[in-house]
Amino acid sequence: MRNIKTLIEALKNIHSKETISYPIGEWPGKKYSNIPETLRGKPIINEEKCIGCEACYNACSAFTIKFFNEKDKRRYSIDINKCIFCGRCEDVCPEDAIKLSNEFELTHFPEENEEKRYVKWEKILKNCKNCGERFATIDQINKIHDRISLNINPKVSEEVLKDYEIYSNYCPKCRKILSYKIGINPSKYYLRIGKDLKEMK
Amino acid sequence: MIIEIIYFISLIIFNIFLSFIFLFLFRKINAKFQGRKGLLLIVPKDLRKTIGSTKIMQQFYDILKLFYKQTIIPKNSHKKIFIISPIISFILSIIIIPFLYFPIINDAQQKFLFIPFDLLIITYAIILIHIFWNIGAYASASPWAYIGIERSEKLNFFAQISFISSIFSIAILSNSLSLKEIVIKQDIPYILLNPFSAISFILFILVNFNLKPFDVSEIEVEIVSGPFTEYSGKLLGLIELTKTILFYINSILFINIFLKSGEFFSSIINLFLLLIFAGIFVIILSIINNIFPSYRIDQALKIYPILVIIFSSLSLMLSFIYKIFFG
Amino acid sequence: MIENSMKNILEDLSNLIIETHDIKINKQLAKILSIDKEKLIEIAKRILKNSNSRLVHEIAIDLGIDGFKIIQLYELFNSEGKAYHIGIESYFPREESKIPSLAAITYQANWAEREIMELLGIEFEGHPDKRHLFLPYEWPNETEAGLEEAKKIGFNVFPKPEPPNILPIGPYHPALLEGVFLRLKVDGETIIDADLKPGFNHRGIMKLGEERSYWRNLYLFERVCGICSADHANAYVLAVENLFNIEPPDRAKYIRTLGIELERIASHLLWLGVAADLIGFKTFFMWCWKEREKAIDLLERLSGNRVTKGIARFGGAKRDLGKEEIEKMIEKLKDIEKSVKNLLDIAYNNSILRKRTEDIGILDFQNAIEYGAVGPVARASNWKIDVRHDCPFDAYSQEYTTWDVIVDNGKDVWARVIVRIKEIFVSIDICNQCLNALKNIKGEIVTSEKIELRKGEGIGKVEAPRGELIYYLMSNGEPIPYAVRIRTPSYRNNAIVPFILKGYRISDAPIIYGSVDPCMSCTDRVQIIDIKSGEKKIISLNDLIKRR
């Protein structure tokens, strides 16, 4: 009869191993299942590479990355319970400091909130010489220095870097107010051009 | 007197325990054919930390848990009949147990309980259990139950014809209505002498227990469990317990009547042979249950009566031929 | 060819047109004609007189002080079988918000107009069935038109104990996977009439989409449906690319196509198991879902997740594939092909399965066009429509891959089973072609063009496993879209269910309803935009102000 095919398939299935046990803790069933490395799981931070530019804070689709200032440190935290594992922070980070690992067992008891629910890191801030406000992280200022020295025209790099070292000590407001006093106002270049023109004539 | 009572109570408890083992076998084979693990008899070592280290029998706990849940009785139903019917069915199913034939134990049993027509009692009790279930379902006012009963009555009409003809053809062959004499008088097992009778019995079981392909009256997808839709809590627990015991009784009855109840040798091996044959019977039923989808009611009503009429008339004719020519 | 047919129609209607402009749909250009609102029905009749034309969707947008705008989009086929689109739009002020209804002519616009009537307040004159579609019948108060109309048609609207000849396959039932209210009027075992009411899974997604910027919406629209999530994301990305005129590179097209086809394999295997369960064949259900795990493993390797895959990006794809992974994927696809052939053998040879699915739920060719079926339901009635063939996108056109469209002449439930199983084999073939092409082509996976915001409209069309999925975007220069409209294939397929249930038995109802592959998460995603004129119940102020 035609129905024999179903019977043969049923008898073949007796030694199939489709269900594997998955206990908490040690994981003997691991050899049967394979977790690919490209799984999108919990985000982890490499603290040395992060420069505190807050690109991930602007890019997060679920508004889980938050930060607040505390004395001379800025503390960042990611809330794992709200993260949707989309990967926007990984796309946008300029330093490759935040990546999605393949860890997917993220449940915890309410008492373990502080350790397991938040991913935390902190950066040290720099304060302005004039008004004392803390405006940027030290790593970010160093990074901008490195980037400028890579990309600038070698004829003018010395002067620009000298100026940079002066004005990286002041917050944006004080830079504008005190620009003549500390000697970084761009009018000095126009005056010089005017002098050169006069000499040529 | 007291010894008899203790004997009967322990016999009933032992048989109920055995019926759970048969249920375990049926569900486990179902699961193996489908490619999954099935239910657990003992908790494996890796899972003991999470579930607990007590060894459980899952099929027993599945029925026990129903006894501590809330029983809801629908407002529009006829309450007394709704409550009494599962209880009567359960009592009827327990009454059958002392009449079954077990090879070694039977001598002790026969001292207290010998009725020369116990096959009739068994037959009518099995049929009455279903009638009382259907009466209880009529009393619950639910459209799903009405559809379920309508289908079940149509199929059961033919199923009971098949059952009765199978039992009577065996009674004619062996010239008596007592289960003990049927077992003792078999020189050749009756399954070889009159195979049509065995097929009629199996046809009856397929409808009685809602095994596919004749699953029509209780299919979950269309009519939300048919006649038993409105039962919940303790009453549902009684119904499930009755179904388990009935499944076991029918299997043992089949082996008693058609395979000489395992009494081929004269020692304690007979008892094990009985249980092994019953186990193989359960496996064959499970295979049939797994390789077919279920029929629609009008398709089932075209095929089933034809099968019943052919096999029951053949089995009765064969018995009469043996009786006339071989005495 | 296509240009000539379009020119003929434009010349026919030239005295009624005020102006025309273009919309880009998936590499084709469609003409949208603006006309006066009184002439809508005349033009619709002239377009639908063609025997090979169908209505795609009817869209209404609230423009604030300027009034309303209504668009009807049609798809026509010329004599050689190529498809082109024409749309009709008209503007009208808020004070005169009564339009002649298109549902009086054809059933295809029935559900679309009911949705617009209940949520935007435009009134369609001559509509045969003015009940609410997604909202409860008795909202906002009991004397509304919805309640009166429901009583006229003969269904009791309140949840009281029903007379015994009405069977509620109600919001909770073991036959249904998701919540929908299907009511059958029965006589013994025969079904006389049926009615379907969706709306239990209503989440307000189109409204949420109008408050978020473009890239955040990508993650929102991915979560409309779990089984076809890559299709929704891909259609949205196509709509944005058509709106702003950017084109992804070749390698990204192959990766996106690979994601869509793998998802089609997983979805059809899921459906096969569910359909077997609805007959009562639990064993086959377990076997089909066992094979589906292999397809989902491939998707996990490609995208990183089993359900919400993030494969598409504006102008390309997110992840690349290396050489070793391509080899492993090709091997696993061979495994899947072998086991699906085995399943087809078993289903073809099991006599009871054939008897339960043949000759029920019949949908003729004429009725399929008239009622507006899409997807495998239409292809099983001998109507050859497929978005990948008519209006190709990504790597489906002739220069990238070659494949066939599967059509069957059976018209019943068994034909739909056969069409879906054969589509699995076609999908495996397309996947193999994509993987082999990916070995040789080199390049980037994201284009380097920049997005420049501009005013305009864009449409993206994709073939989901259930049919044709269409996204419509309108922007007015801001970084937030002004209007988003989604029309999913289950919307159309659920509307034809009452017609294919009549005359069959109760035992057939679950399998007939299951054979159109209902996905209620796709159907219930409606908008709550503005206040109905002259209405006391209002939506809270926060919803109108919040913009991000």
Contact A61 C216 (CB under 8 A): yes
For the record, the structure tokens of C501 come out as 């249930």
E strand or H helix at C47, and its extent?
Answer: helix C40-48
Contact B33 A24 (CB under 8 A): no
- Give the model confidence (pLDDT) of C38-67 as tens digits: 888 888 888 888 777 889 999 999 888 888
Residues from chain A that touch C301, judged by Cβ atoms under 8 A, are 36, 38
In a domain, A140, yes or no: yes
Q: Is the Cα torsion angle C168, C169, C173, C177 positive or negative in sign? A: negative
A183 in the same domain as A155: yes
- Give the model confidence (pLDDT) of B218-250 as tens digits: 776 677 778 888 899 999 999 999 999 999 999
> Which of these three, A103, A127, A151, is where a domain ends?
A127
pLDDT of residue C147: 58
Please give the mean pLDDT across all residues of chain C: 84
A123 in the same domain as A49: yes
A167 in the same domain as A111: no
Contact C189 B212 (CB under 8 A): no
Is B277 in a helix, a strand, or coil? helix
Exposed/middle/buried for residue C22 (C-beta within 10 Å: 0-12, 13-18, 19+)? exposed
> Which of these three, A74, A109, A127, is where a domain ends?
A127
**In the complex, which subunits touch B with 3 or more CB pairs below 8 angstroms?**
A, C
Q: Does A21 touch chain B (CB under 8 A)?
A: yes
Residue carrying structure tokens 């935007």:
C120
Q: A47-51, C162-166, C299-303, C405-409: which range is least confident on average?
A: C162-166
Q: Are C40 and C88 in contact (CB under 8 A)?
A: yes
CATH number at residue A94: 3.30.70.3270
Q: Are C313 and A90 in contact (CB under 8 A)?
A: no
In a domain, A29, yes or no: no
Q: Are C372 and C496 in contact (CB under 8 A)?
A: yes
Ordered by start, the domain boundaries in chain C are: 2-199
β-bridge partners, A45: A98
Q: Are C483 and C474 in contact (CB under 8 A)?
A: yes
Exposed/middle/buried for residue C468 (C-beta within 10 Å: 0-12, 13-18, 19+)? buried
pLDDT of residue C536: 33
Is C454 in a helix, a strand, or coil? coil
Q: Are C508 and C355 in contact (CB under 8 A)?
A: no
Terminus-to-terminus CA distance in chain A, angstroms?
Answer: 111
- Give the model confidence (pLDDT) of C324-383 as tens digits: 889 999 999 999 999 999 999 989 988 888 988 999 989 999 999 889 899 999 999 999
- In degrees, rounded to 5, the angle at the alpha carbon of residue C134 between the alpha carbons of residues C128 and C137 is 70
How many CA atoms are closer than 13 Å to the CA of A169, on its beta-carbon side?
A: 10
Q: Select the residue from C187, C352, C417 to test the B interface by mutation, using most B Cβ atoms within 10 A.
A: C352
Taking residues C419-430, report their average pLDDT. 94
How many CA atoms are closer than 13 Å to the CA of C420, on its beta-carbon side?
A: 27
**Backbone φ, ψ for residue C233 (5° rounding):** -65, -40
- In degrees, rounded to 5, the angle at the alpha carbon of residue B156 between the alpha carbons of residues B16 and B309 is 115
In a domain, A171, yes or no: yes
Q: Are A184 and A167 in contact (CB under 8 A)?
A: yes
Task: Give the distance from CA C224 to its chain's centroid.
Answer: 12
Q: Does C177 touch chain B (CB under 8 A)?
A: no
Neighbours of C157 (CB within 10 A): 16
Q: B112-121, B148-157, C176-185: which range is least confident on average?
A: C176-185
Neighbours of C4 (CB within 10 A): 8
pLDDT of residue B128: 93
- Nearest-angstrom CA–CA distance, C303 and C312: 10
Q: Are C356 and B293 in contact (CB under 8 A)?
A: yes
Is A140 in a helix, a strand, or coil? helix
Terminus-to-terminus CA distance in chain C, angstroms?
Answer: 46
Neighbours of C458 (CB within 10 A): 22
Q: Are C232 and C499 in contact (CB under 8 A)?
A: no
Contact B49 A18 (CB under 8 A): no
Exposed/middle/buried for residue B325 (C-beta within 10 Å: 0-12, 13-18, 19+)? exposed
A118 in the same domain as A138: no
User: Above 80 in pLDDT, residue B57?
Assistant: no
What is the total count of domains within chain A? Answer: 2
Give me the percent of chain C exceeding a pLDDT of 70. 88
**In the complex, which subunits touch C with 3 or more CB pairs below 8 angstroms?**
A, B
Q: Name which of B297, B222, B294 is nearest C352 in CA terms.
A: B294
- Show pLDDT as tens, one digit a residue, over chain A (201 residues): 677 888 888 788 777 766 665 544 454 445 555 677 778 888 999 988 888 888 999 888 888 999 988 888 899 999 999 998 888 888 889 988 999 987 877 888 888 888 888 988 989 988 888 888 888 888 888 888 888 888 888 888 888 888 888 888 888 888 888 888 887 787 777 777 767 777 766
Q: Select the residue from A2, A5, A14 to test the B interface by mutation, using most B Cβ atoms within 10 A.
A: A14
Q: Which of residues 234-263 of B touch A (CB under 8 A)?
A: none
In a domain, A48, yes or no: yes
Exposed/middle/buried for residue A70 (C-beta within 10 Å: 0-12, 13-18, 19+)? exposed
Residue B109 CB partners (closer than 8 Å, separation 6+)? B11, B98, B102
Give C22's pLDDT tier (boundaries 50, 70, 90): confident
Q: Which CATH architecture has domain C2-199?
A: 2-Layer Sandwich (3.30)
pLDDT of residue A201: 61
A195 in the same domain as A178: yes
- Nearest-angstrom CA–CA distance, C431 and C420: 17
Report which residue type is found at B146.
Answer: Y
For the record, the structure tokens of C397 come out as 């056109």
pLDDT of residue C530: 37
ipTM of the complex: 0.88
- Nearest-angstrom CA–CA distance, B100 and B118: 9
- Cβ density class B12-43: b for 16+ within 10 Å, e for less: eeebbeebbbbbbbbbbbbbbbbbeebbbeeb
User: Above 50 in pLDDT, residue C534?
Assistant: no
- Cβ density class C408-431: b for 16+ within 10 Å, e for less: bebbbbbbbbbbbbbbbeebbbbb
Residue of chain B nearest C173, judged by CA positions: B224
β-bridge partners, A125: A137
Give C141's pLDDT tier (boundaries 50, 70, 90): low
Report which residue type is found at A14.
Answer: I
- Nearest-angstrom CA–CA distance, A119 and A89: 14
Of the candidates B147, B290, B294, which has its C-beta nearest C279's C-beta? Answer: B294
For the record, the structure tokens of C303 come out as 């995208």
Q: Does A8 touch chain B (CB under 8 A)?
A: no
Contact B220 C174 (CB under 8 A): yes
Q: Are A23 and B46 in contact (CB under 8 A)?
A: yes
Exposed/middle/buried for residue B302 (C-beta within 10 Å: 0-12, 13-18, 19+)? exposed
CA distance A18 to chain B (A): 6
Report how far apart, in Å, the C-alpha atoms of C139 and of each of A163, C97, C525 are.
70, 21, 19
What is the total count of domains within chain B? Answer: 1
β-bridge partners, A119: A78
Do strands C181-187 and C190-197 pair parallel, antiparallel, or not at all (unpaired)?
antiparallel
Note down the domain range covering A114. 43-127
Taking residues C299-319, report their average pLDDT. 87
Q: Name which of C11, C55, C64, C2 is nearest C33 in CA terms.
A: C11
β-bridge partners, C73: C57, C87
pLDDT of residue A25: 46
CA distance B58 to chain C (A): 21
> Which of these three, A106, A127, A148, is where a domain ends?
A127
A159 in the same domain as A123: no
Count interface pairs B-C at CB distance under 8 A: 69
- Give the model confidence (pLDDT) of C449-484 as tens digits: 888 888 999 999 999 999 999 999 999 888 899 999
pLDDT of residue A28: 46
Alpha helices, H only, chain B: 2-34, 48-51, 58-64, 79-96, 106-112, 118-139, 143-174, 179-184, 190-193, 195-208, 220-223, 234-258, 269-290, 297-326
- Nearest-angstrom CA–CA distance, B122 and B95: 9
Orientation angle between helical segments B269-290 and A4-12, nearest 10 degrees: 120
For the record, the structure tokens of C46 come out as 């002239």
β-bridge partners, C77: C83
For the record, the structure tokens of A160 come out as 């620009």
Do strands C28-34 and C83-92 pair parallel, antiparallel, or not at all (unpaired)?
parallel
Taking residues C531-544, report their average pLDDT. 36
